[in-house]
Amino acid sequence: MTSEKDSKRIVIKIGSSSLTSINGEVSRRKLEKIAEEVVHLKEDGFEVLLVSSGAVAAGYRKLGCLTRPESLAEKQASASIGQGLLIESYSDIFLSHGYVASQILITRDDFTDELRYNNARNTINVLLERGIIPIVNENDTISMDFLRFGDNDTLSAKVASLVDADQLIILSDIDGLYDADPRENEHAKLLREVNEITPAIEAAAGDPGSANGTGGMKSKIDAVKIALASGISTFLGKATTPTIIYDSVYQNAKGTYFKPKSNSPNLTSKERWIAFNSGPEGKIIINDRVKKAIMKNGTSLKPTDVDSVSGHFDQGAVVNILDTEENTIGLGVMNYSSDAINQIIHKTERHLLTYEKVAIESDHFVCHLHSEVLSTI
């Protein structure tokens, strides 16, 4: 079949409940269903990357646990068993269809470090361009709590942004986004298309619903925010629905389609890293005189524009830019360390700070990016 979307790049997030049996072990049948649809897309000319949960769920019974472990050490030990089982199953199934799968284990730290971020991007691009199917998962075996994504919904959105995906597909145990919790309200309606994550939509997001998973609807909405801000269409649907993956790519599936607005900014790779991954290291408070100028024109900050500096950071760090009422204006890349800035404030007209477009695209986008996206990461 020839598609008008040939060569487009698809990222598919698969949750633990979509991969494991009722006993918590990897379900060969579920994996084969997913693989068959991925292969179908590959034969149509798509590049496909999987962000797969399931390592802890696949391994904890082999560790001797009767239920999903609670302690970090037991989770990591379970993951060390389950990661091997999971990639072995994926690899065998895809090889039977003539495709090679690769494993990529990643931590949050790989995203916050710009060099490692770019290395990951380059590696995945090579794999996709060579026809390989990358299987990405968080490195649960070594990740510490403060370095964890917390769920693979967030990871999938960051990976989709990293590789400039055209579409993110999030598979779950629910049909899509409803205007109320369908488990509690029989009159809840499925939202077929959403262009903006409003407070009402966030209020409808519930708690985690699967015993084998970590992410609920709230984590999926947070992931959608990142994808929409990156200009990536996103689909949320039920993993057990027949041909859900294939149909979602061709806009025929039952579920919720999240589509970026036509005027969404086209962020560069650098800007996406700053917006979603950099982890601001300090704060700069600017005076009201310059606030409007940088919001409108994106001018760089001079020492006379800075009222105060908070936190310790080195040259090249990303920092939060605040007004005098401590409202977030944007993000900036520092040309000087915090110590140097404190020494030269009001003594030179040299530019201290280079703004990226991500921080000053427009009033609307700044508010959306920071209150709706950055605060959730």
Hey, what domains does the chain have and what are their CATH numbers? 9-264 (3.40.1160.10), 274-376 (2.30.130.10)
| The two three-digit tokens of residue 27, written as one number | 């379900």
0.75 cut: is pTM over it? yes
pLDDT along the chain (377 residues), means of 10: 58 87 81 95 96 86 84 87 90 96 88 88 96 87 48 88 95 86 82 87 62 62 88 93 95 93 70 76 82 68 78 83 83 80 63 50 30 32
> Exposed, middle or buried: residue 308 (CB in 10 Å: 0-12, 13-18, 19+)?
middle
Strands 9-14 and 133-138: unpaired
The closest alpha carbon to 342, from 312, 320, 301, 300, belongs to 312
The closest alpha carbon to 251, from 271, 235, 263, 273, belongs to 235
Task: Output the pLDDT for position 51.
Answer: 95
Adjacency order of strands within the sheet including 193-194:
101-106, 133-138, 47-52, 9-14, 167-172, 233-238, 256-258, 193-194
Task: Output the pLDDT for position 192.
Answer: 93
Element of type H or E holding 343:
helix 338-344
